[in-house]
Amino acid sequence: MTHRPVPVPDASSALFWEATAAGRLALARCSRCHRFTHPPGPVCPHCRSTDPDFSFEAVPGSGTVASWTVLRQAFLPGFAQDVPLVLVDVLLDETHDVRLIGRLLDGVDAPLAIGDQVRLAFEHLADGISVPAFMLEPT
């Protein structure tokens, strides 16, 4: 049995992955313009500071579906048992414009439309490793 690949944190993403392992979503916030970004890079994409000195802050994780796709073929062996699956592109609330892609845990038959509200959930892949996912908010 082939297992799903797991994230490998680096210096710029370690605090993000520590938060997800604890069941929270924490995003990088620029110390210069105070806007969130994901993933963080060497330059703030908003104010273009080359010294953004990002801090990680908890965000609620709720949001609005901007787009989605249904994966019907596993391009990596570790996902063979998971397909078909839905990946949603979510515009996160309270972040001004940060989008996060994650699996929709409701499944491929869930009624889904652009503009639907979702809430944060997590897929636990291994001890200390969780990835953000989403579930539809009841209407």
Asked, for residue 3, whether it belongs to a domain, the answer is no
With a threshold of 0.85, does the pTM exceed it? Answer: yes
The per-residue b/e assignment along 107-128, b for 16 or more CB within 10 angstroms, e otherwise, is eeeeebeeebebebbbeebeee
- Is residue 132 scored above 80 in pLDDT? yes
- List, for residues 56-113, the tens digit of each pLDDT value: 999 998 999 999 999 998 888 888 888 899 999 999 999 988 999 999 999 999 999 9
Last residue of a domain, one of 59, 74, 89: 59
Of 59, 79, 95, the one marking the end of a domain is: 59
94 and 48, same domain (yes or no): no
**Are 56 and 28 contacting, i.e. CB atoms less than 8 angstroms apart?**
yes
Within 8 A by CB and 6+ apart from 65, the residues are: 88, 89, 90, 112, 113, 114, 115, 116, 117, 118
Q: For the chain, how many structural domains are there in total?
A: 2
User: Domain for residue 133, yes or no?
Assistant: yes
HEC letters along 66-116: EEEEEECCCCCHHHCCCCCEEEEEEEECCCCCCEEEEEECCCCCCCCCCCC
Top-confidence residue, 128 or 118? 118
- Positive or negative torsion for Cα 90, 25, 77, 8: positive
Q: Residues 67, 78: one domain? A: yes
Of the three residues 27, 43, 59, the one that is the final residue of a domain is 59
Q: Are residues 41 and 79 in the same domain?
A: no
